[in-house]
Structure 1
Amino acid sequence: MPAVITSAVFLGIASLFIIYGREKIDALIVSHFKYLFYGSALAFGLLHATNFTGNPWIILAFSPLLGGPQIVVGLFLGTIRMKNGLAYSMLFHMAVNMIALIL
């Protein structure tokens, strides 16, 4: 399910670029950056709540708690991305996943 949501978001963003042009989209991103930054970290964490199995209503109710650590990691990864670039953010994400895999 997260792959479908991610694909829909990317398709929507690509459509906006085609319809409105890059300059208008860039201006929109700059003017609303903090909302986009925190919103994407929140979405990153909440989408990770889909990793849990069980009663979907209980998972939905507790998704802020279940995805809480991932929300924090999303904020951290976003900060790394802004300060050091996408490659470092991706490397850190892989390191976090590798630690979880080993444990």
Structure 2
Amino acid sequence: MSLVRVVDGDTIVVSIPEWPSVLGHEISVRLAGCDAPEMKDHRPAIQSIAVKAQKALVQLFERADVVTLRNVRRGKYFRLLADVYADDVNVSLYLIEKGVAYPYSGRGKRPW
């Protein structure tokens, strides 16, 4: 699997050569277990957190030797959802600990 780009604080785009290209070429993957604010939020304070989340994710991946997807599944909106790791670091927990994302299971009200 190769990381193509970071979309925002809780979504990445990857290519998975082992999968057919219609499924695995530049496919969006949502990080399971966390929610970060949207980059397009019109509230300046929330948008600032969104930018910090995206930058934290980019920096974490730049330092990592290996990025892996575990427990890949479909989310409630049929998007790919996965536990994402940079080396041995759970990316969702990392973002939550940095204060730029909240725990999120797909249910309940989002804090943003």
**Could you tell me the TM-score, scaled by structure 1's length?**
0.32
Q: If each structure's helix is expressed as a fraction of its own residues, which one has the higher value?
A: 1
